[in-house]
Amino acid sequence: DENGAIYRNAPPSLKFFMGTDSIGRDVFSRLLYAGRISLLVAFVVTILAETIGSLTGAISGYYGGWADEVIQRFVEFLITLPLLPLLLAFSALLRGMKIPGLPDEWSSAVIIAAILIVFGWMGSSRLMRGMVLSLRNQEFTEAARAVGMSNFGIIVRHMIPNALAPIIVSATLSLGGVIILESALSFLGFGIQPPIPTWGNMLAEYQNDMWTQPAKVFYPGLAIFICNMAFNYMGDGLRDALDPRLKM
């Protein structure tokens, strides 16, 4: 419209803290909205991936035997695959898929989140398995078996809660990685598609202005860097607080 034409590529000012883009949109407002989307995807992916990983790892470690062999061989197979090329391949394959009941522009966000979940649970599974292996023969586990508690009840009520501290740390550290992966996919055009803004597709959109208005590229890049560093420091802090070995 007329206002958009007037404010195209406006420099930073009191009205537009970070200026405007080539069609007159406020860069600061878009950055905040994009942050909401990027963080929402990161939290949803991390929570679901850590939940799947914790359950599979607990089952693998508690039951042992063929269940442990099957789950761990599958985990090892997935870990050996190159992550980014695999994400790009699946994103390209599912790029045009529409999800019934969702607006077309949100389908890409759900698909990307699902792909990141599918390939993001293996680390927490191996971590939980290791913790459960050290817990399954403890006295409280034997006591739970003696009073007739089911194996599933022992896993849910005793194994997972007692192994939760390292999983919380792992989840916090994973948040930054998910943000970087989602941003990389969106930057390359295989992630969340416009008109939904994310920090990744903002970088892709503003790269043509890199030499004339480099600040436009700097802002979403800085947001990704700050969030990643913040989650890494938070994870380190939680590890120091929750790991009793570091308090000795």
pLDDT tens readout for residues 198-219 = 999 888 888 887 787 788 888 8
Q: In this structure, is residue 218 part of a structural domain?
A: yes
20 forms beta bridges with 26
Q: Give me the pLDDT at residue 46, please.
A: 94
Residue 6 in domain: no
Inside any domain, residue 111:
yes
- CATH of residue 72's domain is 1.10.3720.10
129 lies in some domain: yes
The predicted structure's pLDDT at residue 6: 65
Domain limits for position 144 = 26-243
pLDDT digit string (tens) for 125-164?
999 998 888 888 888 888 888 888 888 888 888 888 888 8
Q: Identify whether 9 is part of a domain.
A: no
* Percentage of residues in the chain having pLDDT higher than 90: 21
Nearest-CA neighbor of 120 among 227, 229, 200, 44? 44
Question: What pLDDT, in 10s, does the model give residues 109-130?
Answer: 888 888 899 988 998 999 999 8
Residue 2 lies in a domain: no
20 — phi, psi (to 5°)? -125, 165
Q: Is residue 43 part of a domain?
A: yes
Q: What is the mean pLDDT of residues 8-22?
A: 75
Q: How far apart are CA 116 and CA 142, in angstroms?
A: 37
Confidence of residue 23 (pLDDT cuts 50, 70, 90): confident
pLDDT value of residue 240: 76
Q: Based on the structure, what is the number of domains in the chain?
A: 1
Residue 13 within any structural domain of the chain: no
Cα separation, 196 vs 167, in Å, equals 31
Residue 1's pLDDT band (cuts 50, 70, 90): very low
- Cα radius of gyration rounded to whole Å, the chain: 22
